[in-house]
Structure 1
Amino acid sequence: MSLSGTLVKKITVLSDGDVFHDIFRNRPHQISEMSPDKIKSVNLHNGDWGTLGSVMVSDFYHDGKAKVIKEEVVAIDEEKKLVSTKVIGGDILDTFKSFLITIQVETKGDENSVTWTFTYEKLNEKVEDPNSLMDLVVNITKDMEKHQLAN
């Protein structure tokens, strides 16, 4: 059994893909307003929103428990509408040695999608793949879509 893995999920969205990218890059603190039952808060810990090296701390709910994640923005590609963060603290590192989250938005006319990619290394073979965490971010994406379509 491999300790390293990649998990990818692409979600088609009916709302404006450019808005998704802008939120993920520049306004992640507003996600808690769109998905309050899943994200309690996203706070800037260091740096400026939307810049490489900035660090944010999020309080969220996963598997019925309150959890924390601390992330550093390690890649931004405006052309590809991509943002990558490296988990540098919080509950995820209780079971994973490393965890990289990449969010890429594709916009092709009226067809938009959000692709989440988790690249990770487990601490040991007993750790399950982060499928429930992927389900969480998919549901947050759907909440964001509903919020955009309602406004």
Structure 2
Amino acid sequence: MGLKGKLISQTEIKGCKDLFHEMFKNKPHHLPNVAPQTIQAIDLHEGNWGTVDAVINCNFTVEGQEKVVKVSIEDIDEEKRLVTYNIFEGNLIEQFKAFKVTLHIENEEENNLVIWTIQYEKQNEDVSEPFSYLQMAVNLTKDVDAHHVNQ
């Protein structure tokens, strides 16, 4: 495979799509309470929650390894329930020159689908495709959905 790539997943949720979008747009700092095994901390570094150009510090675990990254919110589209995050600092950048994650929620008939898209550019050919990060996003989707359904 080349250095640039894109991974996409779709996961159906049972809970409210608006609550789901709200969590990732305005309340990501609540994620450590919902999925502590995956997200250990999310703190606002610059700007305001839920605004483009806000900068967030995020500590998470993927495949048993702790990661610390700095993320900017690059785009928010309320109508499409879309948030795009750009990871620009931290130990993920050791492997990837670029790493952008988009969360989008769609309605398909009676179903709400959470779509995660990861666009990336690897530092070199020795770096593996970021499948584990996509799986982490799917697991996080399931945790947040279960949290909302059980409330």
Query: TM-score over 0.5 for the alignment?
Result: yes
Question: What is residue 47 of structure 2 aligned with on the other side?
Answer: 47
Unaligned 5+ segments in structure 1 are: none
Amino acid at match of 1:91: N
Matches within 5 A, 1:81-92: 81-92=81-92
Q: Structure 1 pair 107/18, CA: closer, same or farther in 2 (3 Å)?
A: farther
- How many angstroms apart in 1 are the aligned matches of 2:114 and 2:79? 15
Residue by residue over 1:125-148, the C-alpha shift from the partner in whole angstroms, topping out at 9 and shown as x without a partner, is 111110011111110110111111
Amino acid at match of 2:51: T
- Measured after TM superposition, the shift of residue 74 of structure 1 is 0.7
TM-score by length of 2: 0.96
Amino acid at match of 1:137: A
Where has structure 1 moved over 2 Å in runs of 4 or more? 107-110
Matches within 5 A, 1:2-151: 2-107=2-107, 110-151=110-151
TM-score by length of 1: 0.96
Amino acid at match of 1:62: V
Q: Which SS does the other structure have where 1:33 is aligned?
A: helix
- How many angstroms apart in 2 are the aligned matches of 1:109 and 1:149? 20
- Measured after TM superposition, the shift of residue 117 of structure 1 is 0.3
- Measured after TM superposition, the shift of residue 66 of structure 1 is 1.6
Residue by residue over 1:35-80, the C-alpha shift from the partner in whole angstroms, topping out at 9 and shown as x without a partner, is 0111011100000000010000111111112211210011111111
- Measured after TM superposition, the shift of residue 107 of structure 1 is 3.4
Pairwise CA RMSD of aligned residues? Answer: 1.1
Q: Which SS does the other structure have where 2:143 is aligned?
A: helix
- Measured after TM superposition, the shift of residue 103 of structure 1 is 0.3
- Measured after TM superposition, the shift of residue 109 of structure 1 is 6.6
Amino acid at match of 1:126: D
Figure out how many residues of one structure are paired with residues of the other and give that number.
Answer: 151
Q: Do the aligned partners of 1:14 and 1:110 also contact (CA within 8 Å) in 2?
A: no
